[in-house]
């Protein structure tokens, strides 16, 4: 239903119209209504529309008619973002609170007393002439014990953002009408701003992406892309939720995928969650098909690919995880029938998928991205690159440039994912058997190394190293520490973060096994990936579960337990024997160098628990004692 009703504004429309709109939409929560009224006036929006998932078809029609999205085959759609607005901006992302004690190394903390007025000023009148979409949502499956932290309302002046939110979150007034405490919902305001005049990436940058964490308010100005604009996802689901989980002492919110692995022979299912930095393989792992040689026996099911909330159930003492999201915002690059057929299934005809910034053919309505096929389409008729430029008109340096933006993505709901778990909507969540951390590192880190000690695992997560990717602006390829792959999403100080981890996971009566995995080790000479990756990643995970069960023993090294080649099921795996040897070895000399960097890195964090330092010293001493 459209609510073509004016709100109170400078032009003098009556406030009564807004009340009618909210009444007709069935929005009953008076705190939400007040919040909508306040921001409609503040941003100067000329219309207000409350949306739910049922409005999707109409919004799609309107967006197509307005040319904001283009058809990409049956039930598939395509959009381009503004060319300087294609990824999260880490520099412009700020966590603000009233307490300077909330300042960490990575959370880019500022006082809320300065940030709030600054962003409010930028937002004043900035949605003039536009519709403000009111998007009530829940970042949890219904019935989750964590529901009190999951309700939110995003206000956005961008219709394509509303379409993304419908795919990524559970959307509708029912999620805020009957809250136990009607005033407890996350308030998220997204104002696009004049994208062509924001000075993106210059000293005059006007963009601000601010989470006022202690006020549970998110104010994002100056983008319509991804985590900058879909406020339920990263800003609420990670930054705000991590802060809430810490402040309440109840849960962890992590950039984690969440999967089930079922042994079809025994009927047993294990659940694994874990984090790799942005654009480092979470979606691919969650959508993984078992390798052909193992497919008769094992099945991988998808629960989540980017965010998990973890809590310990006081009844049975187990760790339970939920995926708060309702969709996938996946990296397109290198997605194809071999690497990830499941992803292709989840964006097939009729799924309602929205592609952003891939290449588009205006004649055939087809889409393409680097790695979709080994070579780009030979007949370039109708093909435009992600900026909208015809490929046939490229000249000079443009020839040979990627057709799709490296951070181009697809947005599709969980129900479209072919390997979605049967119980993915369980509010209780699933019990966790293993937690993995993954780096994106070209050397040193073996394929997998397991840890059984919680403090050592948290220590390992905090010293996770990664090459940055295109998911953030301007940092691609840089090697940097990315604690728990949360560096861009940290909302409270790292020392407290470590302590909170030790407390939450330490309260479990059944501790999970931990591991550090790395699919990205490369040959120093020719640069090829030593491990085939993708579907083959199931092999080291099965080893980890067998290790937990005591069926294999591995080889103890100073940095954890590494599989022997014989313990890995490598039937029909293409890995070269010499590469495998490297993947399973520990270069102690190289690791000893690393330890000095780690010490510097950890020393930045105030109040790091002594248990973490003790783990560091234990690993360092074991490396020193290792003769290599």
The two beta strands, 217-221 and 383-384, are unpaired
Residues 309-338 that bind ligand GTP (CB under 6 A): 330-331, 333-334
Of residues 262, 294, 256, 290, the one with CA closest to residue 275: 256
Q: Which of 85, 157, 254, 305 binds ligand GTP (CB under 6 A)?
A: 305
**Among ligand SPV, Mn ion, ligand GTP, none, partner that 298 touches (CB below 5 to 8 angstroms by kind):** none
79-107 burial string, b = 16+ CB within 10 Å, else e? bbbeebbbbbbbebbbbbbeeeebbbbbb
**Euclidean distance between CA atoms 93 and 591, whole angstroms:** 33
**Euclidean distance between CA atoms 476 and 459, whole angstroms:** 25
Residue 287 CB neighbour total at 10 angstroms = 29
355 binds ligand GTP (CB under 6 A): no
Residues 252-291 that bind Mn ion (CB under 5 A): 278
Give min distance, CB of 594 to ligand GTP, in A. 22
Where do we find the tokens 């100067």?
44
Would you give the binding string for Mn ion spanning residues 379-408, x where CB under 5 A is met? Answer: ------------------------------
DSSP structure string for 566-592: GGS--TT----HHHHHHHT---HHHHH
**Among ligand SPV, ligand GTP, Mn ion, none, partner that 79 touches (CB below 5 to 8 angstroms by kind):** none
- Which pair of structure tokens corresponds to residue 483? 């604690």
Nearer to ligand SPV, 225 or 605 (CB): 225
**Euclidean distance between CA atoms 17 and 11, whole angstroms:** 13
Nearer to ligand GTP, 130 or 233 (CB): 233
Give min distance, CB of 258 to ligand GTP, in A. 12
Looking at beta carbons, which residue is closest to ligand GTP? 533
- Span from 158-166, 192-200, 510-518, 532-540 in contact with ligand GTP (CB under 6 A): 532-540
**Euclidean distance between CA atoms 91 and 156, whole angstroms:** 22
Q: Which of 86, 107, 127, 280 binds ligand GTP (CB under 6 A)?
A: 280
Give min distance, CB of 306 to Mn ion, in A. 4
**Euclidean distance between CA atoms 489 and 252, whole angstroms:** 13
529 binds ligand GTP (CB under 6 A): yes
CB 249 within 8 A of CB 503: yes
Q: Which of 55, 157, 306, 445 binds Mn ion (CB under 5 A)?
A: 306
Q: What backbone torsions phi and psi does residue 133 show, to the nearest 5 degrees? A: -85, 130
**Among Mn ion, ligand GTP, ligand SPV, none, partner that 233 touches (CB below 5 to 8 angstroms by kind):** ligand SPV
Nearer to ligand SPV, 330 or 495 (CB): 330
**Among Mn ion, ligand SPV, ligand GTP, none, partner that 276 touches (CB below 5 to 8 angstroms by kind):** ligand GTP
Give min distance, CB of 193 to ligand GTP, in A. 24
Footprint of ligand SPV (CB under 6 A): 88, 226-227, 233-234, 278, 306, 329, 471
**Euclidean distance between CA atoms 340 and 284, whole angstroms:** 7
276 binds ligand GTP (CB under 6 A): yes
Q: Could you tell me the CA-to-CA distances from 559 to 177, 455, 457, 507, 594 in Å, in that order?
A: 51, 13, 10, 25, 12
**Among Mn ion, ligand SPV, ligand GTP, none, partner that 519 touches (CB below 5 to 8 angstroms by kind):** ligand GTP
Tally of CA atoms within 13 A in the half-sphere of 428 that contains its CB: 9
Residues that bind ligand GTP (CB under 6 A): 276, 278-284, 305-306, 330-331, 333-334, 339, 471, 519-520, 529, 533-534, 537
């Amino acid at each position: 239903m459209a609510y073509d009703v004016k709100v109170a504004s400078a032009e003098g429309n009556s406030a009564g119209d807004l009340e009618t709109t909210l009444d007709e939409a069935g929005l009953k929560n008076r705190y939400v209504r007040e919040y909508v009224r306040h921001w409609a006036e503040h941003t100067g929006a000329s219309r207000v529309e409350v949306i739910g998932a049922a409005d999707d078809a109409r919004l799609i029609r309107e967006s197509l008619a307005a040319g904001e999205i283009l058809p990409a085959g049956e039930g598939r759609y395509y959009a381009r973002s503004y060319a300087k607005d294609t990824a999260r901006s880490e520099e412009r992302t700020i966590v603000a609170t009233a307490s300077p004690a909330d300042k960490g190394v990575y959370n880019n903390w500022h006082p809320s007393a300065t940030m709030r007025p600054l962003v409010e000023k930028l937002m004043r009148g900035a949605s003039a002439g536009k519709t403000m979409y009111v998007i009530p949502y829940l970042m949890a499956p219904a019935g989750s014990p964590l529901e009190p932290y999951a309700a939110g309302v995003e206000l956005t002046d961008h219709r394509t953002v509303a379409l993304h939110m419908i795919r990524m979150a559970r959307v509708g007034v029912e999620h805020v009408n009957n809250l136990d405490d009607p005033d407890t919902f996350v308030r998220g305001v997204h104002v696009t701003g004049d994208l062509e005049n924001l000075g993106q990436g210059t000293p005059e940058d006007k963009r601000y992406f601010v989470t006022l964490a202690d006020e549970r308010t998110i104010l994002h100005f100056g983008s319509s892309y991804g985590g900058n604009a879909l406020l339920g996802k990263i800003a609420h689901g990670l930054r705000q939720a991590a802060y809430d989980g810490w402040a309440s002492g109840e849960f962890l919110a992590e950039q984690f995928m969440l999967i089930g692995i079922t042994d079809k022979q025994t009927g047993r299912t294990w659940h694994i969650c874990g984090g790799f930095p942005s654009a480092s393989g979470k979606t691919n792992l969650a959508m993984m098909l078992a390798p052909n040689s193992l497919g008769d026996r094992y099945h991988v099911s998808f629960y989540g690919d980017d965010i998990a909330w973890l809590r310990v159930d006081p009844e049975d003492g187990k760790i339970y995880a939920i995926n708060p999201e309702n969709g996938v915002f996946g990296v397109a690059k290198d997605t194809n029938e071999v690497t990830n057929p499941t992803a292709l299934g989840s964006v097939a005809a009729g799924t309602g998928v929205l592609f952003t910034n891939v290449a588009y053919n205006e004649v055939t309505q087809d889409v393409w991205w680097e790695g979709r096929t080994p070579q780009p389409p030979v007949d370039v008729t109708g093909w435009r690159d992600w900026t909208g430029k015809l490929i046939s008109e490229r000249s000079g340096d443009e020839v040979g440039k990627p057709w799709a933006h490296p951070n181009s993505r697809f947005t599709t709901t969980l129900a479209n994912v072919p390997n979605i778990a049967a119980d993915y909507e369980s509010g209780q969540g699933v019990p966790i058997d293993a937690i993995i951390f993954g780096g994106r590192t070209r050397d040193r880190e073996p394929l997998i190394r397991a840890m059984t000690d919680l403090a050592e695992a948290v220590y390992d997560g905090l010293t996770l190293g990664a090459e940055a990717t295109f998911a953030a602006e301007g940092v691609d390829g840089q090697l940097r520490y990315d604690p728990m792959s949360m560096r861009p999403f940290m909302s409270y100080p790292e020392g407290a973060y470590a302590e909170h981890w030790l407390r939450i996971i330490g309260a479990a009566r059944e501790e999970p096994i931990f591991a550090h995995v790395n699919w990205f080790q490369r040959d120093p000479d020719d640069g090829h990936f030593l491990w085939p990756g993708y579907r083959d990643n199931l092999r080291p995970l099965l080893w980890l579960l067998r290790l937990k069960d005591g069926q294999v023993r591995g080889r103890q090294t100073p940095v954890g337990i590494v599989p022997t080649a014989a313990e890995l099921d490598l039937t029909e795996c293409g890995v070269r024997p010499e590469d495998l040897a490297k993947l399973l070895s520990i270069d102690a000399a190289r690791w000893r160098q690393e330890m000095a960097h780690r010490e510097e890195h950890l020393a930045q964090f105030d109040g790091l628990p002594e248990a973490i330092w003790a783990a560091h010293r234990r690993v360092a001493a074991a490396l020193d004692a290792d003769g290599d």
